[in-house]
């Protein structure tokens, strides 16, 4: 009996050792595999936050209430086509499909070649043409302000600020070019200076090369406009292209201060950045 008991104890000890060894090997395997699963996505996120390289960036205003090309239709609203590294981004869609599609056709822009739509906010003068675009290309991806909660890279070198503001949630587009940051705004309801500051917060070591779009300053006084222009200069904004809801007086004062770095923006305007 004693011999059997000793054998049983030895077997139990061996079994226990095997179980412990098995757990140890399993833990070692998990230790090796686990970092790969955690680190790989982080590496992908950080490695893709580069500038757009040496590719040409083309910005085409295809819907606006200001006119740069007399052959095109105007309307109260805004839409800008961003062509970058083989991607065609439609920033907002103006107030109606008829004007938007007519201007695109006259400018030789194929709506079927749009890769995705970026909506700044849900006001009708920025979303009215969306139905017409989706009718032509039903599966087109649309990035809405509520698609994001924070600044996010959409494609290489192209970011959203994420939704800003309180009553009206609005996002703006930021492009990291070799010249510096290009900021495209819809209506700037959160405040145009706040949007530029957000871009600088996101990329503190980058200069702001161009701010384009609606500045929402059509009712601002001269003193308010001069303060905003002064803020732009302090933030190092090199070029400006206000349109849509910016207002005539805003454009006049920005032009006076920025001179050759002021761009007369409106429907049909094409800006190329090498």
> What's the Cα-to-Cα distance from 205 to each of 85, 182, 194, 200, 250, rounded to whole Å?
23, 14, 17, 8, 28
CA-wise closest residue to 215 among 252, 182, 242, 251:
242
Q: Decide if 186 contacts 246 (C-beta within 8 A).
A: no
pLDDT digits (tens, 9 = 90+) for 56-115: 999 999 999 999 999 999 999 999 999 998 999 999 999 999 999 999 999 999 999 999
pLDDT at 2: 44
C-alpha–C-alpha distance, residues 216 and 75, integer Å: 16
- Around Cβ 256, how many Cβ atoms within 10 Å? 11
pLDDT digits (tens, 9 = 90+) for 225-259: 999 999 999 999 999 999 999 999 999 999 999 99
Q: Is the pLDDT of residue 43 over 80?
A: no
Tokens read off for 99: 């004007």
CA-wise closest residue to 235 among 243, 224, 227, 247:
227
Percent of the chain exceeding pLDDT 90 equals 79
pLDDT at 55: 76
| 3-class secondary structure, 195 | helix
Lowest mean pLDDT among 3-17, 114-128, 149-163, 240-254: 3-17
Q: Look at the pTM and tell me if it is higher than 0.85.
A: no
Tokens read off for 58: 């083309």
pLDDT at 53: 54
What single string gives the DSSP state of each residue in 107-136?
TT--GGG--EEE-S---HHHHTTHHHHHHH
Most confident of 10-24, 38-52, 63-77: 63-77
pLDDT digits (tens, 9 = 90+) for 180-208: 999 999 999 999 999 999 999 999 999 99
Q: Is the pLDDT of residue 26 over 70?
A: no
CATH of 57-273, one of 3.60.15.10, 3.30.530.20, 3.40.50.2300, 3.40.50.11890: 3.60.15.10
Mean per-residue pLDDT of the chain: 86
């Amino acid at each position: 009996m004693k011999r059997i008991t000793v054998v049983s104890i030895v077997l139990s000890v061996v079994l226990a050792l095997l179980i412990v060894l098995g757990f140890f090997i399993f833990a070692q395997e998990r230790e090796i595999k686990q970092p790969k699963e955690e680190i790989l996505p982080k590496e992908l996120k950080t490695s893709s936050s580069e500038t757009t390289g040496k590719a040409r960036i083309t910005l085409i205003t295809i819907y606006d209430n200001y006119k740069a090309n007399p052959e095109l239709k105007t309307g109260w609203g805004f839409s800008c086509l961003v062509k970058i590294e083989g991607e065609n981004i439609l920033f907002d869609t103006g107030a109606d499909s008829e004007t938007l599609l007519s201007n695109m056709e006259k400018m030789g822009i194929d709506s079927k070649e749009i890769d995705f739509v970026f909506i700044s906010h849900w006001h009708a003068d920025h979303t009215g043409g969306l139905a017409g675009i989706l009718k032509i290309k039903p599966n087109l991806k649309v990035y809405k302000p509520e698609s994001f909660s924070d600044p996010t890279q959409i494609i290489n070198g192209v970011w959203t600020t994420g939704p800003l503001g309180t009553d009206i949630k609005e996002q703006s587009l930021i492009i990291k070019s070799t010249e510096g940051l290009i900021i495209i705004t819809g209506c700037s309801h959160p405040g145009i200076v706040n949007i530029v500051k957000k871009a600088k917060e996101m990329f503190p070591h980058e200069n702001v090369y161009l701010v384009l779009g609606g500045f929402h300053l059509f009712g601002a006084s001269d003193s308010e406009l001069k303060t905003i222009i002064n803020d732009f200069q302090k933030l190092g904004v090199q070029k400006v292209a206000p349109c849509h809801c910016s207002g005539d007086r805003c454009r006049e004062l920005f032009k006076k201060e920025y001179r050759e770095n002021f761009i007369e923006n409106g429907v049909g305007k094409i800006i190329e950045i090498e």
